[in-house]
Amino acid sequence: MEDTVVQIGAQLFTAATSKKKKTVKAKTEIAIELDEKSELSKTKEKSPLPGPSSASEATATKTLEPQLSSEEEDEEDEALSERLGIKRNDIVWVKQGQNVFWPGLVLKILNRGLRGKARTNTIQMRVFLIHNGSKLTVQSTKVESFDSPNRKEFLETGQKQKAALATEHARAAQKADKFLRERVLGVNIDPVRFFCLGETKVIQEHESSSSEDDEPPEEQVGIPQWELPSIEDLSAAEKKSSAARQAWIKNSKDSRRASNQALVEFITGGKVGAHLVGLYRGTVPSRRHDHYTSEDNDLRQKLKRSSWWGPIDDQLQQEAIFEYCHDVIERSKEVGVVKGLDTIKYAFEVFCPEAITKAICKLAMVDMETAAEIFEKGAQIVRACEALEQPEAEAVEPVEEESLEREKAIVETEEEVPGRETPAAEEAVVDEVLEGTVEAEETVKAETEEKMTAEPEPDVVPAEAEEGPSENLDTGEVVREELERLGVDSDLLKEIEQT
């Protein structure tokens, strides 16, 4: 009996305990659910969902995307670039409108796939359109590399657009080509600066191909890294002393060599390459280039007489600059506009002085006009030193000029002798005869007959008269001897003689 009571009590206790546990669990679940609802309501208050009565709020709502670290983004960009064959800062063709592809610059490659799954329809590109400076995001299927096999077709399609659009298309393609050529030449160009800083609308005449435009001196900061070395004047006594003069010349050369080394390193380091290439193509204005390509002989002669080196008179420094400039010409002449170019002559007369002037502009932090003035001033200093180094040459030159003038006067006097045909007249007659004209032949014939008529004919002397004078000749004796030879009777001969 007691055992039965104990069992029933235990069952009741177990049932009560189980019921209590279920109640606690239910309360806990309800509390958790209430907490979740509370958090959800707070989130809604901070970021309200769009409703039918709030269109502006719906527009403002954005889909949250997982944020990646910079390293993860770089890895993803590399993976996408390898897959597409296109990477950031590449020049591409971007499809816009009715099957027209425009030149553009890739700013970024994006993946809109879920959890990093990249598919063709989820890869997008952020591009910069060169012709109008706009930025947009397009599907990767609407982008092709700039060296695409369809390049020619893209250019032809662009030229079929309306006049204004066709012009913009051609100029954008031209500028993209210019950027790629300079990149091939090894010029370090920031593409964003090249295309975005006021150079994306059109390619103006004489536009610089360099990413470093000439800036006024007030916009440049820092300390100038070069200046024209100052030189003390020689006194009259020092000029007369050969030793003092030579010492002054040596110190002057050493000072210029040390100062100009900064210019040489700036040039040979490739920092003026873009300027020279643009100058060669005619996109950078240059008086020297214009004179070299001019048909005016006076301008070409003026260019030859001008200074090529400015303040640089050290031979080794000149050779280093020339080698660099000549190499730039050889690498860029295929895309140049100067036909039949003598690269050595062009390097001496145009590239070398332009490279030095550009280096002065950058290192002295002045504009190009002021740099050109410094270049000429440096050339004057060099000429003054050369005059002091070889004073005898100045005394010899006037003597040579005087002798040339005397020789010229003698030649002119000989040409003016009366009755003497000038070489030009003789050449004219010869040319007429060589041409075989009838008039020339008749002229020569008439002159010959006139000369023959004017000269008296010599007397013709018979052969018999050569033996002696005619008055000493005995004709009767001759006749008699001839008759005897023929066998005539002697008596008959006597009668003949008597008669």
Please check whether residue 187 lies inside any domain of the structure.
yes
CA–CA separation, 369 and 241 (whole Å): 39
Query: Which residues have a Cβ under 8 Å from the Cβ of 129 and sit 6 or more positions away?
Result: 94, 96, 102, 103, 104, 135, 136, 172
**Can you read off the two tokens belonging to residue 125?**
């590109």
Please check whether residue 243 lies inside any domain of the structure.
yes
pLDDT beyond 70 at 401: no
CA–CA separation, 433 and 20 (whole Å): 142
| 192 and 321 part of one domain | no
**Can you read off the two tokens belonging to residue 127?**
């591009």
| 84 and 175 part of one domain | yes
Higher pLDDT, 463 or 384: 384
pLDDT for 350: 92
What is the CB neighbour count within 10 angstroms for residue 214?
16
| 124 and 251 part of one domain | no
| 250 and 123 part of one domain | no
Please check whether residue 334 lies inside any domain of the structure.
yes
Per the structure, the count of domains in the chain is: 2
| 305 and 387 part of one domain | yes
> Could you list the residue range(s) of the whole structural domain that residue 163 is in?
70-196
Please check whether residue 470 lies inside any domain of the structure.
no
Given the structure tokens 């060169």, which residue do they identify? 130
pLDDT for 196: 57
Please check whether residue 317 lies inside any domain of the structure.
yes
Please check whether residue 457 lies inside any domain of the structure.
no
CA–CA separation, 155 and 134 (whole Å): 20
CA 144 vs. chain centroid, Å, equals 29
* 252: exposed, middle or buried (Cβ count in 10 Å: 0-12, 13-18, 19+): buried
| 186 and 239 part of one domain | no
pLDDT tens for residues 59-115? 443 333 444 455 555 555 666 666 677 888 888 999 987 788 999 988 888 876 555
pLDDT tens for residues 239-295? 667 787 788 888 888 888 999 999 999 999 988 988 888 888 777 888 888 888 888
Please check whether residue 359 lies inside any domain of the structure.
yes
pLDDT-based confidence at 316, cuts 50/70/90? Answer: very high
Instruction: Indicate the range of 203-207, 210-214, 224-228, 402-406 predicted with least confidence.
Output: 203-207
pLDDT for 268: 92
Query: Which residues have a Cβ under 8 Å from the Cβ of 435 and sit 6 or more positions away?
Result: none
Of the residues 371, 392, 413, the one at which a domain ends: 392
Query: Which residues have a Cβ under 8 Å from the Cβ of 281 and sit 6 or more positions away?
Result: 209, 332, 335, 336, 337
Contact 54, 60 (CB under 8 A): no
Domain with residue 190: its CATH number is 2.30.30.140
- Give the global pTM: 0.40
pLDDT beyond 60 at 177: yes
pLDDT beyond 90 at 2: no
Please check whether residue 149 lies inside any domain of the structure.
yes
| 273 and 377 part of one domain | yes
Strand order from edge to edge, sheet including 135-139: 135-139, 123-129, 100-111, 91-96, 143-145
| 192 and 99 part of one domain | yes
| 242 and 317 part of one domain | yes
Identity at 384, one-letter amino acid code: A
Of the residues 351, 376, 392, the one at which a domain ends: 392
| 149 and 275 part of one domain | no
| 255 and 131 part of one domain | no
**Can you read off the two tokens belonging to residue 302?**
């003026």
| 190 and 239 part of one domain | no
CA–CA separation, 309 and 306 (whole Å): 9
Of the residues 366, 392, 418, the one at which a domain ends: 392
Write the Ramachandran bin of 364: left for phi over 0, alpha for psi from -120 to 50, otherwise beta.
Answer: alpha
pLDDT for 166: 85
